[in-house]
Structures are given as C-alpha cells and as structure tokens.
Amino acid sequence: MDRIGTDIQYAARLLRDGKLVAIPTETVYGLAANALDPGAVLRVFEVKERPSFDPLIVHVGSKEQALGLISDPPEEALDLMNEFWPGPLTLVLAKRDLVPDLVTSGLPTIAVRMPAHPMALSLLRSLPFPLAAPSANPFGYISPTSAQHVIDGLGDKVAYVLDGGSCRIGVESTVLGYKDGAWVLLRQGGVAQESIEEHVQIGAVQASSTSRPEAHGMLSSHYAPRTPLVLGDPEALLPNYAGARVAVLSFQERYSGGMVDLVLSPSGELTEAARNLFALLRQADASGAEVIIAERVPQVGLGRAINDRLARAATERDV
C-alpha cells in the first residue's frame, strides 16, 4: 500500500489498530489517533516531538459525538456548533471523565471541533471513537496544507496519509474557550473573530499571548520556517539586506529586489492569501534565501489569523 492515498476504509482500519493516520481537513492536515486510546495519543506526541503540556484538538463527526465528550455546555456553545460546524471553529469546554488526561494535558477542558472536509467527515462517521489530531507537522514547524507536506515533515513516522488535496482554508481553526461565563478567543483562525461576534460576545482575546503553554501552547516560535523571517514593510527592509539572498513574501504587490518574490494574493483577497500562506512559506524556506521578509496583511477577518501566524514565524519584527 502506498503511504499516500484515498482509501478511507484502510485509514479507518489503521486507526482502529491504534496507528496514526494523517487526515485532510479544510484548515490543515491533522495527525490523527483514537482520542480515547492513551497509547495511540502518546505516539502523536512522540512523532511530532510535541511537549506533553500542549493539549490536542479532538475531532468529531457529529454534534452528538461532541456532546458525549463535554460536560454541561452553555447554551451558546450549542448555538455556535449549529452555526459553524462542520467548520474551522474549535470550542474549549469542560470535559467528561472518559477523555484521557493525555489528550487535554491534564486540563479539565477539552478542545473539540467538527472538520468540514468530506473525507475527514466520512472517516470520522465510520469510526466508533473521535480523533485527536494536532497539525501533522514536527512541533514548531509550518503546518501542512497538502499530503506531500505531511510526508516531507514526518516521513515514515505516519502509517498513512489520506490525500484530500490542498486545504481550502489554509490556516488552523479559531480556538474559542469559555471561562467564568465569558467567551475567550484563544487563537485566531479560519472563522473570523467578526463572524463569531455576530453570535456571541467575546469577553477577551488572548490570541497573541505567547507564554501560557498550559492555556494555549503558543510558544513564541511557532509555524516557523528554518530561515530567519523578518516581519515588516519590504520596501523599507530590503535595503538593509543588500547583497544577501532575500525571499520576499508579500500580500498583493510584488516587490522586486529580492532573489525570490512570492505573493500571497495577487487579487488582494484574504481567503486566497490564507490558502497560500503555508505553502509559500515552505517555498520561501526551501529557496536557499538567507532571510525571508514578510509583509503583514490587513488586520481584518482572516487577516488576523494570517498576521498571527506571520508574527509567530518571525525571528524579528520591524517597521
């Protein structure tokens, strides 16, 4: 059997046997394991080299399955599920006892979402258990948005990659928690903050805090290419790197002067920019450039998630 393929039944068999399978979602590829099997979940942490204090997202095939994992959800959580699932919204809610501590890193809460990719949904609905799945990349590196990206990063450490093509959204899900009666935005992502605010009031945005691993696992360097990345205005920054091999990653405009010019969205659309973000970051990283200069995008809608990922990828911020 090839390591990359489209055989959902084969993927299901491997997962029932406690193996790891990379699955496509609308956001990024996930490295999936039976969420109720601590042994399988442990291998996810090992393969990713992920610190055990960074909890995983549990993927479900139905709202009923989610309700079997969470305890006493607020009414608004059900509204949010109805509105945004399947889709790129992860809810962090009180967990039930059957969820292994390893999945939640010992927290009393669980992160759950129903992904919108048809292959992921049909896989989930063919299994008697939910799937714990972080992004299918070595910890700290750029998340994968194609089956080949998964193999590039994890190689034969993953039994099978279910190939669902390029991810439609391209940035990870929005993570929304509920604490002391208020919603807290923990990570900007595929559902825009503005869209959530049409349904519930967000009490606090903690999405840019980088030093609370227990709450969010967002260490300061994350989603990061190996090449140093500087975030700022390419026009102003380029002269500082005269003579160096520079890759420029810009939003809409093309900046000549670098060795490689990559544009997130020639038409200036944030959805397109999000879809291209991780593949272009990988391309910049593989280009042989000594430094990547990346430009911020407008800070609205999906732009918030894109800027967040760029900031976390940056070794330096400027301008």
Burial 267-290, CB ≥16 within 10 A → b, else e: eeebebbbbbbbbbbbebbebebe
Site membership for ligand TXA, residue 92 (CB under 6 A): yes
CA gyration radius, the chain:
19
Phi, psi of 261 (to 5 degrees): -115, 115
- Helices 270-286 and 303-313 meet at what angle, rounded to 10? 20
Strand residues in the chain grouped as ranges (E) = 4-5, 21-23, 30-34, 57-59, 89-94, 109-113, 131-132, 160-162, 174-179, 182-187, 202-205, 229-231, 246-250, 260-263, 291-294, 316-317
> Contact letters (x/-) for ligand TXA, 183-222, by CB under 6 A?
---xx---------------------------xxxx----
Q: How far is the CB of 143 from Mg ion (least distance, A)?
A: 5
Q: How far is the CB of 264 from ligand TXA (least distance, A)?
A: 19
**Overall size of the chain counted in residues:** 319
**With contacts defined by CB under 6 A, how many residues of the chain interact with ligand TXA?**
30
Q: How far is the CB of 119 from Mg ion (least distance, A)?
A: 20
> For ligand TXA, which stretch binds (CB under 6 A), given 109-117, 194-202, 237-245, 258-266?
109-117
Nearest residue to Mg ion by CB is 135
> For ligand TXA, which stretch binds (CB under 6 A), given 8-16, 107-115, 153-161, 233-241?
107-115
Q: Which does 227 bind (CB under 5 to 8 A by kind): Mg ion, ligand TXA, none?
A: none
- Asked whether the bond before 86 is cis by omega within 30 degrees of 0, the reply is yes
> For ligand TXA, which stretch binds (CB under 6 A), given 106-114, 203-211, 268-276, 283-291?
106-114
Measured CA to CA, the distance from residue 41 to residue 49 in angstroms comes to 12
111 versus 185: smaller Cβ distance to Mg ion? 111
Q: How far is the CB of 3 from ligand TXA (least distance, A)?
A: 19
Q: How far is the CB of 147 from ligand TXA (least distance, A)?
A: 13
Residue 136 near residue 147 (C-beta atoms within 8 A): no
Environment class of 296 (CB within 10 Å of its CB; exposed 0-12, middle 13-18, buried 19+)? middle
> Contact letters (x/-) for ligand TXA, 50-79, by CB under 6 A?
----xxxx----------------------
Measured CA to CA, the distance from residue 24 to residue 6 in angstroms comes to 10
Three-state SS at 12: helix
Q: How far is the CB of 305 from Mg ion (least distance, A)?
A: 13
Site membership for ligand TXA, residue 172 (CB under 6 A): yes
- Which residues of the chain form contacts with ligand TXA (CB under 6 A)? 25, 27-28, 30, 54-57, 88, 90, 92, 104, 107, 109-111, 115, 133-135, 172-173, 175, 177, 186-187, 215-218
